Amino acid sequence: MKNAPIGIFDSGLGGLTVAKAISNLMPQERIIYYGDTLHLPYGEKSDTHIKEYSAAIVEYLIKQGVKLIVIACNSASATAASYLREKYHEQIEIRGVIRPMLKAVAQKNYAQIGLIGTQVTVQSEVYTSILNEYNPITKLNALATPLLVPMIEEGFNKNDISKEVIKEYLSQFKDIEALLLACTHYPLIKKSVIDFFENKIDVMDNADFMAQDVKAYLEKNNLLSINKEGEDEFKVSDYTKTFAKSASMFFGKEINVTEHNIFAL
């Protein structure tokens, strides 16, 4: 069991930012990544569909013999995490990206912070309610920023157009001490966000907090891998050349992405 892989999934390839952080922190761990590019974007889907797609992926990952499942997608973590945990708790541990970041945020005792994410994540108000559980003092202003995912996927993360779009959205925040990047695509624009705020506020994303959370869980349960048996696997439900290009952009190095459509009848 210790050497079993970690299953990680996302609506597409943004979750590779989380996979990368996990792999950097624990290079001995083997990863099986599943990106549901067929149903991308989750950020604009109904809860019912996100739950249905996520459950199919969880079942696939369980069949691959993973020791833990990470939902590397805020939209799926916000809408489907509780449902998936309830449904599969006897078979597998499932962890979402929201709590690890919020636990760290809660300790800072900020008065006011901002958040950007998909429509689904913002409308779910899950960040607000979990933060309230950990620290009722911090006030959270959440803004849906739907143009950012397609923009980043197009590779526009530090040009004049992306700077303008980021400026338009972020100008709406007043007097915040931190901004949460509540979408796994957003680490790619982190530098532009920091620049927009002239380095005066904290800018946080899910990836490193999630990796720390995974490490703590594996340590606590004596599940840290002793040696890496086999290669990481990166699968998507629908493969196009564009995805191959963005995969290396999100993971930070060339990776081999193959199609495996678990949704085909």
Rounded Cα distance, 26 and 84, in Å: 25
Segment near ligand DGL (CB under 6 A), from 19-27, 80-88, 179-187, 238-246?
Answer: 179-187
| Strand, coil or helix: 82 | helix
Among 6, 16, 31, 40, binds ligand DGL (CB under 6 A): 40
C-beta separation of 100 from 131 below 8 A: no
Helix (H) or strand (E) holding 235: strand 233-236
Catalytic residue among 183, 189, 218, 247: 183
Give the tokens for residue 158.
């530090």
Stretch of 59-67, 71-79, 129-137, 162-170 lying at the interface with ligand DGL (CB under 6 A): 71-79
Element (H or E) spanning 238, and its range? Answer: none
Is 183 among the residues known to form the active site? yes
Give the residue with the Cβ less far from ligand DGL, 6 or 98.
98
The single-letter code of the amino acid at 250 is F
Active site residue 73: yes
Residues in contact with ligand DGL, counted by CB under 6 A, come to a total of: 18
CB-wise, 33 or 42, nearer to ligand DGL? 42
With binding defined as CB under 6 A, does residue 185 bind ligand DGL? yes
Largest Cα separation within the chain, whole Å, is 52
Q: Which of residues 88-127 bind ligand DGL (CB under 6 A)?
A: 118, 121
Q: Is 41 in the site for ligand DGL (CB under 6 A)?
A: yes
**Alpha helices, DSSP H only, in the chain?**
16-25, 47-63, 74-88, 98-106, 119-124, 126-134, 148-153, 160-170, 190-196, 206-220, 241-251
Q: Does 157 bind ligand DGL (CB under 6 A)?
A: no
| 233, β-bridge pairs | 32
For the bound state, the minimum distance from the C-beta of residue 215 to ligand DGL, rounded and expressed in Å, comes to 21
162 sits near ligand DGL (criterion: CB under 6 A): no
Task: List, by residue number, the catalytic residues.
Answer: 73, 183
Residues that bind ligand DGL (CB under 6 A): 10-12, 14-15, 40-43, 73-75, 118, 121, 149, 183-185
